[in-house]
Amino acid sequence: MNKTIIASIFLLPSIIVSYATDIVKTKAYSWHGDTITQGEYFATAPNDFEIISTYSATPGYYMPIEKQWKLKNDINGYPRLMTSNRLHNAIYNMGLDEMVNAVEPDTTLRTGKEWAGVWTRDVSYSILLSMAYLQPEASKISLMRKVNKNGRIIQDTGSGGAWPVSTDRMIWAVAAYELYKVTGDRSWLEYIYPIIKNSVDDDIATIYDPKTGLVKGETSFIDWREQSHPKWMQTADIAETEALGTSIVHAEALKVLSEIAGELGHKKEAAYYQDKSREISDAVNRELWMNDKGYYAMYLYGRDNPILNPRAETLGESLAIMWDVASPERAVTITENNPTTPFGAAIFFPQIADIPPYHNNALWPWVGAWWTLANAKAGNEQGVLQGFGSIFRPAALFCTNKENFNLDNGDIATELNSSNMLWCLSGNLAITHKILFGIDFKKNGLAFHPFVPKVMADTRTLKGFRYRDAILDITVEGYGDSIKSFTVNGKLQKPFLDAKKAKGHLNIKIVMADNDITPLRVNNVNNAKAPLTPTTWIENGELHWNPVEYVNHYVIVRDGKRIDNVNTTNYDVSIPGEYQVIAIGNRNDKNIESLASEPRSTRESFVIQFPREKKEITSTEANYKPKEAITGYKGDGFREIDHNTSEIEIPLTVKKSGEYSLTFRYANGNGPVNTQNKCAVRTVLVDGKKVGNIVLPQRGKGNWNDWGMSNPIHLNLNAGEHTVTIKFMPTDENMNLKTNHALIDCLTVTRLK
């Protein structure tokens, strides 16, 4: 530690005494004046351009801790914040400083210090938070980088080979429209319309579930398999989940597409996509809302009979509020019930006990920013204060905008981390601009609705805020959620700037009503771990499972319905069905549920081998061809599918009419389980009519002897003969474009009803 830092820290106790009023105080830390204190550690701002911290990280952690931040870049071209709180000023200025670091020489936005390049979801969420108006050109160029040669939005590499296991790429559409609202550039609108439309149309054909109305694919941004799913789930199972956050992203993208279509004169398309958006919003409220908990479930999961994962998922809950999927009444209920730990709202709650912190057992400041914005919209003053604290605490103590933090102790010791994270610095800046100054971009102007908690009452000024052809100096005085007066260059008017009239230098003064905001509660909880997931098997007509520690009882689920509570570790399954077990905790985690065990079916099924089978890979699309003969297939061999495979026809005879499930056994060694973009996708037809799509994710680089099951397709079949066809359609194209290849060795048919 250098002498300057030592000298500064020597003077800190007097600073702490001078600014002792608590702005935010939880069991873990306090923000009082210009200082944040956590146990024996504290951080403070000697001036507006410096932060000093005494924090020490978990011993032995690979990533060093910054003890000081000092302004390095020229930030004079960006809005300057002036408040009476030096720490607030310094954290804001650090956000601008790191934002300048994030602009690459090619004018794209770097994801983080440890994360090079542009990632679709990272840059899109960052643009929505604040980069659209602070870095409009870099935002535009970054978005253009995430469009492929087929004119589709790129889903970043990820679980099982990207899309359609991961399906949150449509956040690009929402970000692109936000950039239009900032700039008013009609040529940009005309550029993005076909890209969004093409991508949406592919998704409607492939991942929209007509039965539930929700959207398939893993939870937006939570893309590390076992971090948020039970270990038994394969990536094909994850592709079949229907998640809160991802569904809401699609609902908003469809709404955006409808608005763009309307502005460009495509009235028929505007009405169609508006209806689709409404269908998803209605489905979220119908399928995922939990009255007993007061918030939405994280996702539906399972196999033939999906069930709710009743965890709270903070980004999804926030977006439901921000984008009006939740009614105003439900918005309030969510902010009062979503669990908030001493360090802030978790990525999801409760945690998974045997998984290390990253998405699990973690807080990410950019998600905290969305949560804080949602609390402001819902009018939850205490929620806003704790939201600010959850972002400012780590920014000050770690002297950078880190990506994520351990929810047990607030430390950076997680599986992966980075400084100078784009979406975290974007959230840091957004909460000041969009909450305390109330800046809200509309397509035809700038609206203002500040939300200032009473304890944060101040006179704040934002100088040099650029909006189209105007430069704004904005001052907000007082506190509350109501505006007493709004003046532009001394003239009273409504709190709205017309985009066509906003020209030159404008002085905006907002005087708040100093009203007491209607008090709402926050669901403050200690961090909690759920029981481990039971491991089940069927033996001699009974379902068995391993005993789980610290469990009060077990819930038996059959065909997606809870049918019994037991204290044993076995259960009679003579009634045909698909069975699962959920462990219910005791001790401090009383009534917290484990994730459900792997479904075990006792229903009647049969296997159909394919005709004209082969025993070796010949396709030129295959990556990592095996050096030895492929093993593990059923029967005499397998069928190979790629772009050049016209179709595969499978004769099917059923003896009884009813509802059936079709699943295909496959191998895909074209890439690893956790990255790249070679997930194979195919359309399935029965008697010439489309019944669904199968997703055949990557199962390991060169791992052609590892066979797994596709997602199930449900359909009604009459007794008699049928033809099942596997066919490549244009909407089945994956993110790789060149390799869309897998092996399939049989079809399993299960009678459901």
Q: Which residues pair with 537 in a beta bridge?
A: 544
How many CB atoms sit inside 10 A of residue 657's CB? Answer: 11
Amino acid at 265: G
Q: Tokens at residue 697, please?
A: 């994710």
How many CB atoms sit inside 10 A of residue 413's CB? Answer: 18
Q: What is the rounded distance in angstroms from the CA atom of residue 49 to the CA atom of residue 586?
A: 49
Q: Report angle CA 193, 195, 198 to the nearest 5 degrees.
A: 105
Question: Residue 31's closest CA among 93, 100, 98, 85?
Answer: 85
- Could you report how far apart the first and last alpha carbons of the chain are, in Å? 70
Helix axes 422-431, 86-102, angle to 10 degrees: 140
Q: What is the rounded distance in angstroms from the CA atom of residue 558 to the CA atom of residue 562?
A: 6
- The CA–CA distances, whole Å, from 682 to 15, 150, 674, 746 equal 65, 18, 21, 15
Q: Are 401 and 421 in contact (CB under 8 A)?
A: yes
Low-confidence residues of the chain: pLDDT under 50: 1-20
Q: What is the rounded distance in angstroms from the CA atom of residue 435 to the CA atom of residue 412?
A: 27
Q: Are 368 and 387 in contact (CB under 8 A)?
A: yes
Question: Residue 139's closest CA among 155, 158, 125, 154?
Answer: 125
Amino acid at 399: C
Predicted local confidence at residue 59, as pLDDT: 75
Q: Tokens at residue 651, please?
A: 């004769």
Whether the link from the prior residue into 79 is cis, omega within 30° of 0, is no
Helix axes 314-322, 328-337, angle to 10 degrees: 150
Predicted local confidence at residue 589, as pLDDT: 55
63-74 burial, b at 16+ Cβ within 10 Å, e below that, comes to bebebbbebeee
Predicted local confidence at residue 63, as pLDDT: 80
Q: What single-letter DSSP state applies at residue 167?
A: -
Distance of CA 399 to the CA centre of its chain: 26
Tell me phi and psi for residue 486, to 5 degrees.
-135, 120
Q: What single-letter DSSP state applies at residue 731?
A: G
Q: Tokens at residue 315, please?
A: 């980004």
Residues contacting 747, CB < 8 A, separation 6+? 607, 608, 610, 650, 652, 662, 663, 664, 665, 724
Predicted local confidence at residue 692, as pLDDT: 97
Q: What is the rounded distance in angstroms from the CA atom of residue 192 to the CA atom of residue 189?
A: 5
Give tens-digit pLDDT for 127-183.
999 999 999 999 999 999 999 999 999 999 999 999 999 999 999 999 999 999 999
Q: What is the DSSP string of 48-61?
A: TTEEEE---PSTT-
Torsion on CA atoms 57, 61, 62, 63, rounded to nearest 10: -20
What the chain holds in terms of domains, given with CATH numbers, is: 115-328 (1.50.10.10), 531-601 (2.60.40.10), 605-751 (2.60.120.260)
565-580 burial, b at 16+ Cβ within 10 Å, e below that, comes to eeeebebebeeebbbb
Predicted local confidence at residue 12, as pLDDT: 42
Q: What is the rounded distance in angstroms from the CA atom of residue 655 to the CA atom of residue 659?
A: 12
| Helical H segments across 421-463, by residue range | 422-431
Helix (H) or strand (E) holding 537: strand 536-539
Give tens-digit pLDDT for 59-81.
777 788 889 999 999 999 999 99
Q: Which residues pair with 584 in a beta bridge?
A: 553, 593
Predicted local confidence at residue 61, as pLDDT: 79
Q: Is 223 helix (H, G, I), strand (E, B) or coil?
A: coil
Greatest Cα pair distance, the chain, in angstroms, is 87
Amino acid at 52: I
- The CA–CA distances, whole Å, from 33 to 9, 16, 55, 456 equal 16, 8, 18, 10
Q: What is the rounded distance in angstroms from the CA atom of residue 569 to the CA atom of residue 578?
A: 17
Question: Residue 523's closest CA among 362, 347, 406, 380?
Answer: 380
Predicted local confidence at residue 407, as pLDDT: 96
Q: Are 556 and 567 in contact (CB under 8 A)?
A: no
Predicted local confidence at residue 382, as pLDDT: 98
Question: Residue 578's closest CA among 661, 504, 640, 636?
Answer: 661
